[in-house]
Amino acid sequence: MRHIAIIGSGPAGYYTAEAAQKTFGEDVRVDVFDRLPVPYGLIRTGVAPDHQSIKAVSRRYEKVALSENVRFVGNVAVGEDISIGELQELYDAVVLATGAPHDRPLGIPGEDLRNVFGSAAFVGWYNGHPQFAALNPDLSGTTAVVIGMGNVALDVARILSKSRAEFAGSDIVGHALEALESSRLRRIVILGRRGPHQIMMTPKELGELGALERARPLVRPEDLPEETADAALEPGQRKSVGLLREFAAAQGDDDRPITIEFAFMAQPRALVGEGSVTALEVERTRLVDGRAEATGETFRIPADLVVSCIGYRTAPIPGVPFDERQGRFTNDEGRIGPGLYCVGWARRGPSGTIGTNRPDGYGVVEKIAADFPDHDAAAGKPGREGFDRLAAERGLDVVTFRDWKKIEEAEETAAREGAPREKFVDIEAMIRAGR
pLDDT in tens, 28-62: 999 999 999 999 999 999 999 999 999 999 999 99
pLDDT at 254 over 90: no
Contact by Cβ (8 Å): 343, 360: yes
CA–CA gap between residue 153 and residue 201 (Å, rounded): 9
- HSE (side-chain half, CA atoms, 13 Å) at 291: 3
Q: Which residues contact 26 (CB under 8 A, 6 or more apart)?
A: 69
Query: Cα 433 to the chain's mean position, in Å?
Result: 25
CA–CA gap between residue 10 and residue 40 (Å, rounded): 4
CA–CA gap between residue 267 and residue 192 (Å, rounded): 6
For residue range 307-331, list pLDDT tens digits in order: 999 999 999 999 999 999 999 999 9
CA–CA gap between residue 244 and residue 209 (Å, rounded): 10
Largest CA distance in the chain: 76
- Closest by CA to 223, choosing from 301, 299, 141, 286, is 286
Residue 353 binned pLDDT confidence (cut-offs 50, 70, 90)? confident
**Overall pTM surpassing 0.85 (yes/no):** yes
- Closest by CA to 9, choosing from 55, 42, 43, 41, is 41
pLDDT at 351 over 60: yes
Rounded (10°) CA dihedral 43, 49, 50, 53: 20
Could you say which DSSP state residue 27 is in? S
Query: Cα 287 to the chain's mean position, in Å?
Result: 29
Rounded to whole angstroms, what are the CA distances from 295 to 224, 282, 290, 387, 426?
19, 11, 15, 58, 47
Parallel, antiparallel, or unpaired for β 312-313 and 102-103?
antiparallel
pLDDT of residue 378: 46
Residue 380 binned pLDDT confidence (cut-offs 50, 70, 90)? confident
pLDDT at 379 over 80: no
What is the rounded average pLDDT of the residues 332-349? 96
pLDDT of residue 376: 56
Q: What are phi and psi of 44, to 5 degrees?
A: -85, -45
- HSE (side-chain half, CA atoms, 13 Å) at 136: 2
pLDDT of residue 404: 98
Q: What are phi and psi of 59, to 5 degrees?
A: -65, -30
Q: Which residues contact 204 (CB under 8 A, 6 or more apart)?
A: none
What is the rounded average pLDDT of the residues 180-197? 97
pLDDT at 298 over 60: yes
Of 90-99, 200-209, 366-375, 421-430, least confident by mean pLDDT is 366-375
pLDDT of residue 426: 97
Residue 341 binned pLDDT confidence (cut-offs 50, 70, 90)? very high
Contact by Cβ (8 Å): 296, 319: no
CA–CA gap between residue 123 and residue 320 (Å, rounded): 28
Q: Which residues contact 220 (CB under 8 A, 6 or more apart)?
A: 248, 262
For residue range 162-180, list pLDDT tens digits in order: 999 999 999 999 999 999 9
Report the sign of the C-alpha dihedral through residues 425, 428, 433, 435, in that order: positive
pLDDT of residue 375: 57
pLDDT at 354 over 60: yes
Domains, the chain, ranges and CATH? 2-101+314-434 (3.40.50.720), 103-308 (3.50.50.60)
- Closest by CA to 190, choosing from 88, 258, 141, 95, is 258
Q: H-helix or E-strand containing 258?
A: strand 258-263
Burial class (CB in 10 A: 0-12, 13-18, 19+), 166: middle
What is the rounded average pLDDT of the residues 174-188? 98
Strand-by-strand arrangement of the 93-96 sheet: 70-74, 28-34, 2-7, 93-96, 340-342, 335-337
pLDDT of residue 17: 98
* Average pLDDT value over all residues in the chain: 95
CA–CA gap between residue 3 and residue 93 (Å, rounded): 7
